[in-house]
A and B are shown apart, each in its own frame.
Chain A
Amino acid sequence: MSLTSRDVEKIAHLARLGITDPEKPVYAANLSKIVEFVDQLARAKTDGVTPMAHPLEGLTQRLRADEVTEADDREKYQRNAAAVQAGLYLVPKVIE
């Protein structure tokens, strides 16, 4: 299966990755090779095989007691943010 520059555009948009025009055919070629490589999975006989989502099958979710364990540390956490005002993280204006 080979991917086109248009496919790359669509995927890049879903993933919110800015890709320049000259990069598009390069990624299309790379991704085509990767997809062609993984296409060999189609040969495996997997009828009736349960998909394995986790390496330690049989284990189940452990639960946490409903307790507040985290204190406010906003000032420290927001030191890594590029734009903050009045405790809010800022993004360009979103129109709904």
Chain B
Amino acid sequence: MMKDWEVVIGLEIHAQLATRSKIFSGAATAYGAPPNTQACLVDLAYPGVLPVLNAEAVRMAVKFGLAIGAQIAERSIFARKNYFYPDLPKGYQISQYEQPIVGRGALEIVLDDGATRRIGITRAHLEEDAGKSLHEGLANATGIDLNRAGTPLLEIVSEPDMRSAKEAVAYMKKVHTLVRYLEICDGNMQEGSFRCDANVSVRPRGAAKFGTRAEIKNLNSFRFVEKAIQHEVARQIELIESGGTVVQETRLYDSDRDETRSMRSKEEANDYRYFPDPDLLPLAIERAFIEAVRASLPELPDQKAARFVSEYQLSGYDAGVLSASRETGAYFEAVVGRVGAAHAKLAANWVMGELSSALNRENLEIDAARIDPQRLGGLLERVIDGTISGKLAKDVFEAMWTEGRDADAVIEAKGLRQITDAGAIAKAIDEVIAANPKQLADYRAGKDKLFGFFVGQVMKATGGKANPAQLNDLLKAKLGGG
């Protein structure tokens, strides 16, 4: 008999902090440098060197803590996590263990049915990233690049509060949006700036105890998170239902095969022998510093979305999309600034519609858009004042995008200005009617559908420039009146 299974997921998100230099050394953190050219003596763990903590990494962690409503530890401790691996040059990772900098907090996610769910965040702590092992192009050897070693990480540990892969993705996206808002992480998942480990278990619905969990390591896209969890859930249920038991272990998601498999190299019992790092004194954070950081916080995504709803009467969905990044929100508000709040919905439709698809087509970020908010606002003004129709506006938009000119210049050059001269429209209608006597007779005999045919013919004759409302009125009168 099939049981009803409940899925339990917790995420450990690793966000690389966007500092210029590393967490414990003065080497650069820029991505993509030739191997080991951004690995200084401290990063290489040379004999005799010592770590010195980067103030900006601390400030960024505090910023995050405040944004999730967490307690900031006035005193936190750096500890050594001891294990041997070639990408870990000291043989230990400096991390925080017993007293992390950020305590308990929470974030709210919106589910598909519009309901919200609160996801608890257990803690967030500062630690250093490891280097990279490269296996390709080397005969029988692994190459070690330590450029990434020592890049500051904020590890954000959630409670096991998520109940589906979709919820896990929604939570991860929420954190992703937040860290970019706070400008503490560039969020670039391809470059590994934002990645997570997922702890997944299943239990019979209603059971009090959690099932045994597996940890899936190093998921670096939203899609992989979803697929890896789905696969792992299916694997665990199948295993239990066929009489097996889940073992606690680390697994790796293979995106090529869409499956998770045990990481034998990390399977052996780890004993990390955590102890306070004697090279680093306790980190003290003063109240005044916390308050200064609080004062510097930007408007957060949820606050912005709520404001968009109340200030511009947008739907919750539109507000959510437009507040998903600081840049999108700023673009939208700049357009509204030009066209006025009364036309906010029009602005929202254009930002989420034409602009967004043009950006996607060329794989551009919104701040690299070829039409700036002022120009888009200028285009919408021409729609609002009736100079062009909404349909023509799309063509104007395309021309603006490729030619880099403003709306008025495009409209003039292409002669797209709408015809609002009633005489000219009437003349065109008369010509169309004269040329189509059979359709006229049918229409008058009761074939109402032919009205659309006449609209199309007049539009064709005017190059699409006839004002639709005027055309409508005049056409009705002429067809009906005879």
Contact = CB atoms under 8 A, between A and B. Distances in A.
Q: Classify A-B as touching or not with yes or no (CB < 8 A).
A: yes
Interface of A: 14, 16, 53-54, 56, 59-70, 72-74, 77-78, 83, 85-96
Contacts of B278: 53-54
A67 B53 contact: no
Q: Which of A62, A83, A88, A94 gathers the greatest number of chain B CB atoms within 10 Å?
A: A88
Given A65-B55, A74-B36, A87-B35, A94 B281 contact: no
B477 interface: no
Given A77-B41, A87-B35, A69 B141 contact: no
Contacts of B19: 66
A93 B135 contact: yes
Interface in B20-40: 20-21, 25-28, 34-40
A95 B142 CA distance: 9
Interface of B is mostly: loop
B317 to A, nearest CB: 39
A87 B55 contact: no
B22 to A, nearest CB: 9
Interface string B128-145: 000001110010111111
Contacts of A54: 276, 278, 281-282
B281 A77 contact: no
Interface of B: 19-21, 25-28, 34-42, 44, 46, 52-58, 75, 77-78, 84, 86, 133-135, 138, 140-146, 252, 263, 265, 271, 273, 276, 278, 280-284
Given A85-B143, A89-B36, A89-B143, 7 more contacts: A66-B55, A69-B26, A70-B40, A72-B37, A74-B39, A77-B41, A92-B141
A38 to B, nearest CB: 16
Contact of B144 (A66, A74, A89, A95): A89
B87 to A, nearest CB: 9
Contacts of A65: 55-56
A78 B36 contact: yes
A93 B141 contact: yes
8 tightest Cβ-Cβ pairs between the two chains A and B: A88-B143, A69-B26, A66-B56, A63-B55, A70-B40, A60-B284, A87-B35, A89-B144
Contacts of A95: 265
A60 B282 contact: yes
Q: Which of A61, A62, A65, A74 gathers the greatest number of chain B CB atoms within 10 Å?
A: A61
Contact of B46 (A66, A68, A77, A88): A77
Given A60-B281, A61-B53, A88 B58 contact: no
A46 B133 CA distance: 46
A64 B21 CA distance: 10
Q: Which of B57, B143, B284 gathers the greatest number of chain A CB atoms within 10 Å?
A: B143
B54 A64 contact: yes
Contacts of B273: 14
A61 B281 contact: yes
Nearest to B56: A66
Contacts of B86: 89, 91, 94
Given A62-B52, A94-B135, A69 B21 contact: yes
Nearest to A14: B271
